[in-house]
Structures are given as structure tokens and as C-alpha cells.
Amino acid sequence: MAALRLFRDTWRWTFRGSLRRQSGPFARQLYEVGNRSVVFITVTLGVLGMISVFQVLIQVERILPEFSVVGPAFIQTMVREFAPTIAGLMIATRVGSGIAAEIGSMVVTEQVDALRLCNADPIDYLVVPRFWACVIQTVLLSVYGGLVGVCAGAVVAHYAWEIPWGTFFSLNLVGYSDVTSGLWKAAAYGMAIPIAASQAGLETSGGSEGVGTATTRAVVNASFCVVVLDFIISGLSFMLLLGK
Amino acid sequence: MISFQNIVKAFGPHKVLDDVSLTVPKGQILFIIGTSGAGKSVLVKHLVGLIRPDAGRIYLDDVEVTSLSEMALYPVRKRCAMVFQHSTLFDSMTLLENVALPLRKHKGLSTKQAGVDAMRRLEQVGMAEESGQFPADIGDGLRKRVAIARALTLDPEYVIFDEPTTGLDPMAAESVDSLIRELSDRFQVTSIVVSHDLRSIFKVADRIAMLYQGKVLLDGSPADFRATTDPVVRQFIEGRPEGPMVFPRKS
């Protein structure tokens, strides 16, 4: 319930022009969340793309040695599932822990209390810039991570199984609903991660041990949110597809 | 006038404040003393709505603070500033931005105008040259001076000092003591000072209240404290480790 209230208040402060007032911190958070996650996302999704294609091709080779569908099916899965969810989980780990540790440290050193005394709401000052930076960068990193994963998979397919580039990169299985489903997931994760992490940070009590506990809770809660939202959005998009 | 009436506050099973009542007239300097964990900081944080009591009421002049919402507390916080124990400057802001923040948020000044006013405050505490530095770049004593500048930047009627001289060298502690006295004498600022510093207490206080086991054990002038025969108070002001005092468990 506390997280839902925080989500509501974050939107409320956004409509009151928080981002315009906090343009400096917002730009810093865009850099923190986005630019500093690029290497992490590149390595994770690149390796995942290579391993996935490698494993799939081994199985396909045993059953039906016909590889033309592997590339398009892999791209569809990457767009719908792997790119947003793996990127989301990576961001939940790297960024979620950072948000909780930073806000948690501010709580235990009374900086959040000092903000309140300065007539500066902690949600306006701390949560809103992180929230919108996470939303934007999770979507961008998911798209980027998807491209990296597909390219890495294509390299394995081409050099290990001699699948032509054009056959692997065929988009004939990727539909509009796949793209929208992937983007919705990325946006939803981008909202859930900073809320779960900020809530854990704002509820910090005690000293450095409390900050450690808050950081762990942030990563667990944010990762859990990603998995649950993946299930819900996948289910909804599947039902919408059946409805058509 | 500040009035705490029958304040009760517990954290879990640990009752920190148990029916505490205190009144501070305008312009007076009240020192609240007691062992670590006695509830001194908890009590003063109630005044600015950072902690809500389980029972009791707090009045700042005619305003009942305990029932106010977060929004309604902003005018109270404009009149009543607080200097925190660990300075609590914002790490991501320069010293100038730290001092300018209350001016921008409480008075609605532009960044430029708030910066000009903040620089004047920093000059008063001898920190103008360091205005562009970040809190991590300066020592504890200097951070405390900036924190005091930030607290006084709105010309508050009431100031809470939470252990203002802890960690300061004797000269810096002396200047903080003089500042607290001057605020009262020249500007009729009412101050509540949480402190363990016996030298400051007897030099600056108009009145002293000692918290012990959640209650006000003794409330009187410095002379009353010097003359008291209460064994717990005597043990505290004489700084003796042996005696009847029971030390609280940290909550």
C-alpha cells in the first residue's frame, strides 16, 4: 500500500511541475541510470543472445535440420520477452540497489528530515527525477539490449551454423503486438523499479545495517515486480491477441 | 512560546518519552540534557513534525502542531529552524545551494536572489570563500557552521540545536555558544538546545531540563542544578560513571 501511495504521489508531483524544477537532478539521473548501465546491458544481453541461439540451434539440428525459422523466432522472443525482462532485471539489480542505498543513507543521516524542514518534499526532490529517468532509460536500454542480443545471436548462427545473415534477420514473425508488448513491459518495469527501490530507501531505519537491509529489499522487491509484471502483461497481450 | 503537553512516544515496546511536559517562554534558552538514548532528540523533533507523538499535544504559540498535515507544517517549519546533530548538509549540493534551498522553497525566491542572500549568510559565518565546495570537501566543524547558516537563513523565531558543539574544537564551540546567546539577547529568538556539553550548558542556558527514564527529572535554572542533591542529576553533571543512574538501552 505504501508503494502504491508513493506511485500516486510521484505522479502528483510530476503534474505539479517537479521535472521542470528538478531538471539538473533529472539529467544526472538519466546519466546514472542510462549511460552507466550500457556496458552491463551490452555484456548481459550479448552473452544471453549467443547462448540462447547456440542452445536452440543444437536442439533444432537434432530434430529437424532446418534453420530458417530460428532467426525470426529468436527475434520475436527477444522483442517480446528477453530484451525488456532481462534488461529490467539488470536495471533492478544495478539501479534499484543504488537508489535504495542513496535514499537510505540520506534517511539515516537525517538529510531527508532536513529536506522536509526546508519545505522540499522528498518525493519531489528525490523520487520524481529517479522515476522518470528510470522509465525513459529502461525503454531505451531494452531496445538497445534487444539489438545487441539479436546481433550477438546472429554472429553465432552465421559463423557456427553458416546461416545466412538475411535468413536470420528476417522480421516476418515480428508483429505489431510483439513490439507494443515489449515496450509496455519496459515502461512498466521502468516505473516499478524506482518505486520499489525508493520505498525501501525511505523506510530505512537504523544505521549502515539498515541501509544494507534496505538495499537488499529494494533488489528483491524490484526483481519480484519485474517478474510479476512480465506475467501480467504477457497474459494481457496474449488475451488481446486471442480477442482479435 | 513553545509548550509540550504530556508527550508520550514509544518505539516498539520501548517507551522513550513518558508524559513529558515542558514550556519554553519567548526568548528563553532551554537546554535539554540527559544520557544518550534518553529521548532528547526525539522530543525536539516532535516540535517540527518530524516525529508524531503517541499521545499529548505540542503548541507553538497558538498553533497546535501535533494535528497538522505535512503541508500545514510548512509555515511552522519556516518559523522554527533546526540544526541537526550531524549537520545534514545535502551531499549533492554546494554549500551555497544548501543555504539557498530554504530561501527558494520557503520564500519562493529565484535561484539568483536566493544565492545572493545565501552568500550573505555564509559571509556571516566566515564560509563565503568555500561557497562553491561540496560538504564532503570540508571538515565537520565547517559543515556545522554552514548548517547553522542554513538554519538561520529564514530569520526564525525558534531554533532547535541538536548537540551543536559536538565534534567542534573549543574555539568553534565557543563561537556557537556566543551565537546562541546573541540570538536570544539581540533578536529574542527562543532556543532549545540538546547538549551533553556541561561547559556550554552552565554558560549559556537560561533554564535546564533533564530527561531521565522518559520523564523530566529536574527542570530549573543552572543554579538549581548546581544546588540539587538529587543523586542522579549530581552523577550526570559531575560526569561520574559510578552512581545510581540506570543507562537506557538503545531503541
pLDDT in tens, B184-195: 888 889 999 999
* Percent share of chain A, pLDDT over 90: 75
**Residue spans per domain, chain B:** 2-238
What pLDDT does residue A83 have? Answer: 95
Nearest-Cα distance to chain A for B165, in Å, is 17
Who among B77, B89, B91 is closest to A119 (CB)?
Answer: B77
Tell me which DSSP letter residue B18 carries.
E
pTM of the prediction? 0.85
Structural domain boundaries, residue A13 = 2-243
Average pLDDT taken over every residue of chain B: 90
3-state secondary structure A52-65: HHHHHHHHHHHHCC
Interface test with A, best of B14, B47, B88, B121 (most A CBs within 10 A): B88
* The pLDDT of residue A235 is above 70: yes
ipTM of the complex: 0.85
pLDDT in tens, A43-63: 999 999 999 999 999 999 888
Q: Across the interface, do B88 and A114 touch by the CB < 8 Å criterion?
A: yes
What pLDDT does residue A243 have? Answer: 63
What pLDDT does residue B251 have? Answer: 46
What pLDDT does residue B7 have? Answer: 95
Q: State the average pLDDT over residues A133-158.
A: 96
Nearest-Cα distance to chain B for A110, in Å, is 6
Q: Chain A contacts of B88, Cβ < 8 Å?
A: 109-111, 113-114
Q: Chain A contacts of B106, Cβ < 8 Å?
A: 118-119
Q: Across the interface, do A113 and B102 touch by the CB < 8 Å criterion?
A: no
Q: Across the interface, do A116 and B88 touch by the CB < 8 Å criterion?
A: no
* The pLDDT of residue A95 is above 80: yes
What pLDDT does residue B198 have? Answer: 87
What pLDDT does residue B94 have? Answer: 93
pLDDT in tens, B58-82: 999 989 999 899 889 989 999 999 9
The CATH classification number of B2-238 equals 3.40.50.300
Q: How many structural domains is chain A composed of? A: 1
pLDDT in tens, B111-122: 899 999 999 989
